[in-house]
Structure 1
Amino acid sequence: MSDGTRGATDFDHTSIAVHDAPSWLRRLRGTLGATPLIGQVLPEFRYVVCQLGDEQSGGRLELMDAQPGETGGFLTRFLRRHGETAHHLTFLVPDVARTIEQVRELGLRVVKTDLTHTPWRETFLPPDDVHGVTIQLADSDVGYPPLRELLGTRTRDPGRVPGNREGREPGWWEFAWDVPAGPLARLRSTTLRSTDPAFSHRLFAGVLDAETHPRHDGVEYRWPGGTLVVRPDTVAGISHLTVTGGPAPRYRIGEMILVQEHT
């Protein structure tokens, strides 16, 4: 989550679709020390973005669930088909219109593009055979307060954070403050399986301007707000998240596994 507006490209968060976001939010705060940052309610779904970690290290997870009674929306269909698991990756870019041009030059298509709502302009790369997961690209003329401010207070000013066009109830998740925070876990990385690592490199390092760090099992792509590990595989998709700290070697959010890395 970059400070300021339309700065450098950043890996903003990994989003997980769940059936009951309030229940999972309470668990994440009580067991992993998660700090809720922002959220909204939209016509088909609601979301909350949490920090797993502190100002020095960590990353962000988003929890999404369908609106009660909603039966035909995209998230309801996703949960019916896949269950509780990773839904998308979100990147903040300096100029989403320019980034759309760049990803199209790679041969990728974009869907659900909205460039007219300047507090949150967005587009999506739908799941494909290379990455197997939706990738959201966005920019904002609002920006975020510094992370240290968001972690240091429970007060949120909706006018100082990006927001979706139809978003409302920005404090719907504030019940989480009543849950005592558990021992702090830090989100180390999200691991993505790619069927074409060279193409992934052109996207993440070329278009999305990541720092690259080769590993024995793939490549680590780093941004100020988070790290994505890309591993070659015959099947695409997010395989797991890696955390330091936490209550157990393997922690699950539905089907999404959080693997503990010891340092």
Structure 2
Amino acid sequence: MTTILDHLAVGTPDLSVGWDLFTGVLGGTWVYGGDSPGFWWGQLDYAAGPKIELLTPAAHPEVDFLERFLATRGAGPHHFNFMVSDIEAVLARIRAFGIEPVGVNLASPEWKEAFLHPRVAHGIVIQVAQQSGSPESEPPRELPEPGPPCRLDLIEHHVGDLDGAVRLFRDVLDGSLDAAGSETVELTWPGGRRIKLVREDGLPLGGALHHVRFARVAGAFTTQDRERAGLLAKQLGLTVELAG
């Protein structure tokens, strides 16, 4: 059984801001996307690290989770996705860990999924999914030309219960312990996918994504890149660190 940190999903009412940041400045290239009940989604890939997925609401009479998310907190990080080779085995492991998954849907042979509520997942939704095949779709017409290639080097996530978060990400979601201290722990998955957990008390729901860090494959970010990234990231409810 394999488990891979596949992507970080960001909810936004304005996709153009996300395209400008994650493609125009940070060099993300189109993977695939499409319509789902209540939202539209699209994924961007990088030279290394997890993908970025952008989510935006689409009118649906019964599925309004993303509209509620944006109304409550505004644009921002929505979930971590972990792709697994055997979702039923992962769900058994999650339940043995003492967590009951929600939104479990195993009906489709192409896409099976389940979620961990942020109250039990240290402040952010966690999606586990099993996918069959490699879907393809045309990129949106408004997607800009990618900037110079980048790596998504690091996701830093702050948590109140560091030991509990380490057990979840390491023992349940197969992260490899790369560096550990009393206040910070770094875990990795294949492909340069890295989460740094940092202890911080008093956070709503026991945790919050702090920032993501990108690095250019070659060359350095310019002052203009940094200013533009900062403005766009603020509109997306994120902090983006540009390395180097």
TM-score (norm 1): 0.79
Q: Distance in 1 between matches of 2:162 and 2:198?
A: 7
Name the CA distance, whole Å, in 2 between partners of 1:207 and 1:69. 34
The match for 1:79 is 70
Matched residue count: 227
Correspondence 1:49 to 2:43: yes
Give 2:23's match in structure 1, choosing from 19, 23, 29: 29
Shift of 1:211: 1.2
1:58 is paired with a residue whose SS is coil
- Correspondences of 1:14-163 after superposition (within 5 Å): 14-51=8-45, 53-54=46-47, 57-67=48-58, 73-128=64-119, 131-142=122-133, 144=134, 158=136
* 4+ long deviations beyond 2 Å: 68-72
Give structure 1 stretches of 5+ with no counterpart.
Answer: 1-6, 145-156, 159-169
SS in 1 for 2:226: coil
State the match for 2:241 in structure 1: 259
Give how far 1:32 is off: 1.5
How far off its partner does 1:58 sit?
3.4
SS at match of 1:174: coil
Q: Is the partner of 1:182 in helix, strand or coil?
A: coil
1:240 equivalenced with 2:205 (yes/no): no
Q: What secondary structure, in the 3-state scheme, does the structure 1 residue paired with 2:72 have?
A: helix
Is 1:200 aligned with 2:165?
yes
Instruction: Evaluate the alpha carbon distance shift between residue 69 and residue 8 of structure 1 in structure 2; reply closer, same or farther with a 3 A threshold.
Output: closer
Secondary structure of 1:102 counterpart: helix
Is contact 1:26-1:176 (8 Å) kept?
no
Moved more, 116-125 or 180-189: 180-189
Partner of 2:187: 221
Conservation of the 8 A alpha-carbon contact between 1:29 and 1:180: yes
Q: Which residue of 2 aligns with 1:167?
A: none
The alpha-carbon deviation at position 213 of structure 1 amounts to 1.2
Letter in 2 for 1:239: H
Does the residue aligned with 1:256 lie in a helix, a strand or coil?
coil
User: How far apart are the structure 2 equivalents of 1:96 and 1:130?
Assistant: 17
What residue identity is the alignment partner of 2:152? L
CA–CA distance in structure 2, aligned partners of residues 26 and 70 of structure 1: 30
Task: Name the aligned partner's letter for residue 257 of structure 1.
Answer: T
Q: CA deviation at 1:69?
A: 8.0
SS at match of 1:180: coil
Check whether the contact 2:18–2:236 (CA below 8 A) recurs between aligned residues. no
Deviation of 1:27 (Å): 4.1
Residue 195 of structure 2 aligns with an amino acid whose one-letter code is: L
Letter in 1 for 2:140: E
In 2, Cα distance between equivalents of 1:260 and 1:34 = 14
Give yes or no for contact 1:130–1:194 (8 Å, CA) kept in 2. Answer: no
- Please tell me the residue identity of whatever aligns with 2:241: V
Shift of 1:93: 1.4
**Distance in 1 separating the partners of 2:60 and 2:99:** 34
Q: What is the identity, as a one-letter code, of the residue corresponding to 1:205?
A: R
CA distance in 2, matches of 1:260, 1:44: 33
Distance 2:59 2:108 in 1: 26
State the percentage of identical aligned residues. Answer: 25
- Residue by residue, what CA displacement relative to the aligned partner does 1:156-208 show, whole Å, maximum 9, x if unpaired? x54xxxxxxxxxxx43x43156x222222321111111221211122111121
